[in-house]
Chain A
C-alpha cells in the first residue's frame, strides 16, 4: 500500500497550479528573455485541424506558466546538482562565465554556405566600385572560441575556425579582418560579457584598432578616451537561458577626449539626436540597447570629422558597440541591419557617397541569418 498523503499532495499541486495558470493575467513581454511571450491562441477549426492550435497552445502554456522564471531556475539548479557543465546550450564556465555553445548544425547548414557565397559576390561587386581595401568583412568568433581558459574541463566546442576560414577564402584574404588572434591575445581581459553573448566595449575596441589599421586609418588609443562604467547590473540573454544566480556584468562606455560631435538619425526620419548612446536603456533589462538604440533598420551618423570618407556598416548587434569607435573617422556613417531593412541598398551607397564598407557579423549569425542573401539585391 502506498501512502495517500502523496496522492493528496499531488492532487493539491495539480489542481492548484491548474487554477493558478488559468487565472494568472497574461504577460506580454518577457524582459528577461527579451522576447514577446506567446498569448492564448484563438480557437478555430482550421487551426485545430492543421495542428497549429495545439502547438501554439503548448507554447502559450509554457510561456505563461505561473512562476516561469523560477521553474527554469529550479531546472538549472537540478542540472548543476547532477554536475552538468552545460545546459540549454550554455556552458557553465569558470569565474561565473556563462558561455554559449556554438551549434554545429548552424555552421554546417546550407544557409551558411549560401550566405558565404552571397557575401563574397557582394564583396567582389563593391570592390570593383570602391577599390581594394575599401570593402572589409569582419566575422567575430563567439566567446567559446576565445575564452578557452574559462570553459569547463575538457569542453570542446565546435571550432568556428572552420567557418571563418571558409569565409576568409571566399571573400579573399585582403578583405577579411581576422580578429581571432587579436581577441585571443587579450583573453585575460574583460572582452566578452559573462552573462551575454556580445563582446564588451573593450573587445570591440581591440577589433576596431585592427580594422582601422587594415584600411589605412590610424586608430585612437585607449587613453584618447575616458572609460566610464555606465551600469553594473547588466544581465544578458545567456543568463536568461539558464537563470542561474550569477553576479551581473558591468557595461562601459568610451567617451572621446578629442573634440567631436555627432548627429544621429534613426530610420531617416526620427528626430535627430546628438549622442550615440541611449541612456534610458540602462534602466531596462535589455541594457545592450544602450549602444545605438539597439537594432535599428537604418542609422545615419553625421560627425564633425572632416575626412572626406563615408562608411557603410552592414551588421548584426555585435557592431552596436563597435560603431561608436569607427564613426569618429568618417564624415558620415550609415548603419544597416539587414534583418529589418527593406530599402534599396545600392541607392544608399550612391546617395551617401559611400567610400568604405564594413560587413560585421558574429560568426553564428552570419551562418544562420537568412536575411544576408538580400545582399544579392544590392547591385
Chain B
C-alpha cells in the first residue's frame, strides 16, 4: 500500500487510528497499553505491506526473526565471560550482515548479476526474474544496523519480539524510508507518549508530504513522461532541459513528500524520526547536495561503511578509495543496473574533484555560479539515473548540451513552458526555504485569529485537493520499486 492512495487514507488509516487509540482513555488498560499499541502497529504494518506484496510478507517475518535472534546472540556473547566471547559476537554480527546482504542480493541483484555473467561469458544461465520485494533495501539496511549497533554498544538489545517486529515492519517508513536506525527509536519502542501537540504536528507534516507527492510530484511527472517519450531526433535542447528539471522536481517532491508523510505518521503514533531532506536544491556543491539529499542513506553508509573503512583518517589515497567504494554502493543501492552504478561513480568523481581543488575554486566565484554548477551537475546526474538504457541517456545529454538535430527549441518546447510555467514557479519556491521562513513571519504580522484561520484553510484545502487528485487517479506512480 502507498500513502497516496484512497485505500490508505479512507480505510487503513482511520481503522488503525481507532484501534490504536481506543484503550488509551481507560486506566485499567494502562499496564498493557504499550503491548497493545505495538501489536496493533505490527499487525497493521503487516497488512499494509501485504496489500501489494502478500507473498513477500514471509520474507519480512523471516528478516525480523533472523535479526531478533542475532541481536540476542550478539548480546549474549558480548556479555559472556568466556575468552572468545567477543569473537563469537563478531561472528554473529557477520552472520546477520551476510543473511541480510544475501536477501538483498538474491531478490534485488541476482537477475542483474546473471545477465552480466551471461553477457560476458556467453553462457545462458537461468535468471529467476523475481519481482523486487518493495522496501527490501530499506528494511534490510535497518535491521543490519540493529545487530551492528548492539555489538558496538550503541543500542541495547531488544528482548521483546513484538517491539522488535514493530521496529522492522513499522509502516510509516517501511517502503520508501527514511532509513530509521534502531538506536534512533529504541526508547520509543517501549515507552512513548502520544499527545495532541505531537499528533497535530504529525497531521500537518503528513498533509504537507501528501500535497508534495500528489499535487506537485505527480503533476510535474506527467511533463517528464511526455519529454521522455520524444524520439531522439525530435528532442530540442530546451525540451531536454525542461524535461530533466521536471524529473528533478518530481523525484525530489515525491521522495521528500514520502519522508514528510513518514515523519508525520510517525509523530502521530509517538515516534520521532530524523529528517531526511534539507532543501537539497539550494546546494552550492555536490558535497553539500549529498549532505542535504536522502540524509538517512548518507548517514547509514558513513556510519557502517565509510568510517569502518577508515574514512579520511588514513591518508588521501585510502580516502579516495573509500569514497569510491561508498558511492558505487550508493549507486547500486538505487537499482540493479549499470546506469545506477555509473551514477554512483559519477558522484564519486565529482566529490573527489571537489575535495581536491573544486571546492576551493568554487568558494572564490560568486554564489550564483556556484548554484549553476551544482544544478547542472545534479541535472546530469538525473539523466544518468533515469535512463536505464545508457545509450538513450547519452543522446539525451547530447541534446541538453546543444548537439540536437531538432535545434534549440520548437513549438513543443514553448508549449511545455506555457503549460507548466506556473507549476515550475511553485516547485522552484517549494524547493527553497522560502515558504518555511516567510510564511511564519507573515502570519505573525496579521491578527492571530485570521492567521490561524488562513492556516487551517490552507491545510484543509491541501487535503481536499489531494483527495480530488486521487479520485481522478490516472497518474500516481511509485518511483521506488527499484530501490
| Chain A residues with a Cβ under 8 A of chain B | 1-7, 9-11, 13-15, 17-18, 21, 48-49, 51, 54, 57-58, 61-62, 65, 68, 71-72, 74-75, 78-79, 82-86, 88, 104-105, 152-156
Contact = CB atoms under 8 A, between A and B. Distances in A.
A154 B460 CA distance: 35
10 contacts: A2-B197, A3-B200, A6-B207, A15-B14, A18-B10, A18-B11, A71-B472, A74-B464, A82-B423, A83-B419
**A-B interface, 3 closest residue pairs, ranked by CB to CB distance from nearest:** A154-B415, A7-B200, A71-B471
Contacts of B199: 7
A298 B14 CA distance: 51
Contact of A71 (B204, B419, B421, B468): B468
B418 A104 contact: no
Contacts of B10: 14, 17-18, 21, 61
Interface of B: 1, 5-7, 9-11, 13-14, 17, 50-55, 196-197, 199-201, 203-204, 207, 219, 229, 410-412, 414-415, 418-423, 426, 452, 455-456, 459-460, 463-465, 467-474
A78 B471 contact: no
B7 A54 contact: yes
Contacts of B50: 48
Contact of A14 (B14, B415, B423): B14
Given A4-B200, A10-B203, 9 more contacts: A1-B201, A2-B197, A7-B196, A15-B14, A48-B54, A71-B468, A72-B472, A75-B471, A82-B426
A54 B51 contact: yes
A326 to B, nearest CB: 37
A88 B418 CA distance: 17
Given A3-B456, A54-B51, A58-B6, A83 B421 contact: yes
A154 B196 contact: no
Contact of A105 (B204, B229, B426): B229
A104 B229 contact: yes
B261 to A, nearest CB: 13
Contacts of A2: 197, 200-201, 204
A151 B6 CA distance: 34
A141 B38 CA distance: 60
A14 B200 CA distance: 14
Contacts of A4: 196-197, 200
A49 B14 CA distance: 24
A284 B200 CA distance: 48
A6 B454 CA distance: 11
B411 A156 contact: yes
A273 B302 CA distance: 80
Given A15-B14, A51-B54, A84 B200 contact: no
Contacts of A9: 456, 459-460
Nearest to A103: B229
Contacts of B468: 71-72, 74-75, 78
Contact of B204 (A6, A17, A104, A155): A6
Contacts of B11: 18, 61
B89 to A, nearest CB: 40
Contact of A75 (B423, B459, B465): B465
A153 B207 contact: no
A71 B456 contact: no
A301 to B, nearest CB: 39
Nearest to A49: B54
A57 B7 contact: yes
Nearest to B2: A58
A151 to B, nearest CB: 9
B415 A155 contact: yes
A15 B5 CA distance: 15
Contacts of B13: 14
B470 A62 contact: yes
Nearest to B459: A6
Contacts of A11: 17, 203
Given A10-B207, A13-B460, A65 B471 contact: yes
Contact of A156 (B55, B201, B412): B412
A84 B218 CA distance: 14
B473 to A, nearest CB: 6
A62 B4 CA distance: 13
Contacts of A10: 203, 207, 459-460, 463
Nearest to B426: A82
A74 B470 CA distance: 11
A338 B396 CA distance: 41
B419 A86 contact: yes
Nearest to A151: B415
Given A7-B196, A58-B7, A156-B411, A83 B201 contact: no
B472 A88 contact: yes
Contact of B5 (A58, A79, A83): A58
A61 B203 contact: no
A45 to B, nearest CB: 9
B419 A85 contact: yes
Contacts of B55: 49
Contacts of A61: 6-7, 10-11
A102 to B, nearest CB: 12
A139 B471 CA distance: 35
A54 B478 CA distance: 15
Contacts of A58: 5-7
Contacts of B460: 6, 9-10, 13
Contacts of B229: 104-105
Contacts of A79: 219
Contacts of A21: 10
Given A10-B207, A156-B411, A74 B6 contact: no
A77 B197 CA distance: 34
A3 B6 contact: no
A316 B454 CA distance: 52
Contacts of A49: 54-55
A82 B216 CA distance: 11
Contacts of B9: 14
A305 to B, nearest CB: 47
Given A71-B472, A154-B418, A156-B410, A5 B467 contact: no
Contacts of B219: 79, 82
